[in-house]
Chain A
Amino acid sequence: MILRFAAVVATALVLAGPAAACTHPRTSLAYLEGQVMCPTCHTTLDQSDSAAARQIEGFIRQKIAACWTAHRIEAALVANYGQGILAAPSHKGFDLLAWWLPIAGVLAGAVVLAVGVWRWSRRREYEPDEPPDPALDEETERRLDDLLARFD
């Protein structure tokens, strides 16, 4: 009984040891699987079951156990595989375009929409309720004059 208890305590200490050694919140495999690409299948790791993806997952697991931060793990993967291993482009250089272009597109769309709505509403504002009467043709005018002349 005592031996069993000692074994349980020892196992708990072994498992808790590395966790306690971390000085920061531990990142998770689930989080990084969505941030890292499988290099051979061009999907994120969580959507891939290829051998290359499993290898990277093993690496991530190992580094999480060693208390590496998500940023440090990503940096190590970039050093090995290049920038293309990350699902999201970096926030510097030419890659910035990937972040700003969609925002610029949405803004430009909003401006175009706003101008369109403004012009449409202005047109409605100045539009007369009823169309003006068309001018009378010569024949009708002459007949009308004749009729009116009878009442003089």
Chain B
Amino acid sequence: MTRRLKLTAQLITLACVAGLLALLVWKLSHQHHAPRVGSVAPAFTLRRLDGPGKVSLASYRGHPVVLNFWASWCNPCKSEAAVLERDWASYHRRGVVFLGVDYHDLASDARRFVSAHALTFPMLQDGSGRVTGRYGIDQVPETYVLNRQGRVVAHLAGPITDSGFAGKFHSALVKAAA
């Protein structure tokens, strides 16, 4: 009886340890890092912020894509908005698609932001941050430039208005549109 009890206790302890180890492995394997330049950008489908329906990244395959992650509570995003709108106006004629991804934000505030800055490129909503997390974003604004094959051409972790990023952004756009 004592032996059986001891064996059961050992089995339960082993099962608990195995469960905890499995959780640790699962957590480690599900940690997301920013996709590297040259790798395929993580696929996603998100709700539109500026209208009904959903938009998937895959539907823009064949077009260069600028993915801009922002939020209405983010101050640098305000100064960046006008520059993005201006660039969108000049590059969309060349087939470049701009997508704004609103991150951890109230949809009502985000819509007000879009309206206040007269942004006309498509806006998507990632309230939970699920998609943003897969892009390794932990601050906004951040911008990815993808080529026609959906591969990352550039990752700019900061406002594209920054002196260091402005030139990099435009050369990435030219490279992606080529």
- List A residues at the B interface (Cβ < 8 Å): 39-40, 51-52, 54-56, 59, 80-82, 84, 108, 112, 115
For A81, list chain B residues within 8 Å (CB): 104, 127-128
Among the stretches B24-32, B70-78, B156-164, the one at the interface with A is B70-78
Q: Which residues of the other chain, A, contact B73 by a CB distance below 8 angstroms?
A: 51-52, 54-55
8 Å CB contact of A59 from B74, B106, B127, B129: B106
Contacts of B105 in A (CB 8 A): 52, 55
Contact with A along B1-23 (1 / 0, CB 8 A): 00001000100100000000000
Q: Does B107 contact A (CB under 8 A)?
A: yes
B-side contacts of A56, CB under 8 Å: 106
Q: How far is the CB of A22 from chain B (nearest CB, A)?
A: 22
Contact of A39 with B104 at beta-carbon distance under 8 Å, contacts A52-B71, A82-B127, A84-B128 already known: yes
CB distance from B11 to the nearest CB of A (A): 13
Tell me what chain A mostly uses at the interface: helix, strand, loop, or mixed: helix
Q: How far is the CB of B48 from chain A (nearest CB, A)?
A: 15
Complex: A144 Cα to B98 Cα, angstroms: 108
On chain B, the number of residues with a Cβ less than 8 Å from chain A's Cβ atoms is 17
Measured in the bound complex, the distance between the Cα atoms of B107 and A59 in whole Å is 11
Contacts of A59 in B (CB 8 A): 106
* Interface: B109 (CB within 8 A): yes
In the bound complex, CA of A81 to CA of B127 (Å): 4
Q: Would you mind naming 28 contact pairs between A and B with Cβ atoms under 8 Å apart?
A: A39-B128, A39-B129, A40-B104, A51-B71, A51-B73, A51-B74, A51-B75, A52-B71, A52-B73, A52-B104, A52-B105, A54-B73, A55-B72, A55-B73, A55-B105, A55-B106, A55-B109, A56-B106, A59-B106, A80-B106, A80-B107, A80-B127, A81-B127, A82-B127, A82-B128, A84-B128, A108-B12, A115-B5
Given A52-B105, A108-B12, A112-B9: 6 more A-B contacts, CB < 8 Å: A51-B73, A51-B74, A52-B71, A55-B105, A55-B106, A80-B106
Identify whether the interface residues of B are mostly helix, strand, loop, or mixed: loop
Residues of chain A lying within 8 A (CB to CB) of residue B106: 55-56, 59, 80
Closest chain B residue, CB of each to CB of A55: B73
Residues of B within 8 A of A108 (CB): 12
Query: Smallest distance from the beta carbon of A47 to chain B beta carbons, Å?
Result: 17
Q: How far is the CB of A49 from chain B (nearest CB, A)?
A: 12
- Against A, the Cβ 8 Å flags (1 = close, 0 = not) of B128-148 are 111000000000000000000
Which residues on A sit within 8 Å (CB–CB) of B109?
55
CB nearest to A38 among chain B residues: B104
Complex Cα distance A7/B123, Å?
A: 47
Find residues 65-108 in chain B having any chain A CB closer than 8 Å to their own CB.
71-75, 104-107
Question: Nearest-CB distance from B62 to chain A (Å)?
Answer: 31
- Ranked 10 nearest A-B pairs via Cβ: A82-B128, A39-B104, A51-B73, A55-B73, A81-B127, A80-B127, A52-B73, A52-B104, A40-B104, A59-B106
Give the docked Cα–Cα distance between A81 and B125 (Å).
10
How close is A58's CB to chain B, nearest CB, in angstroms?
9
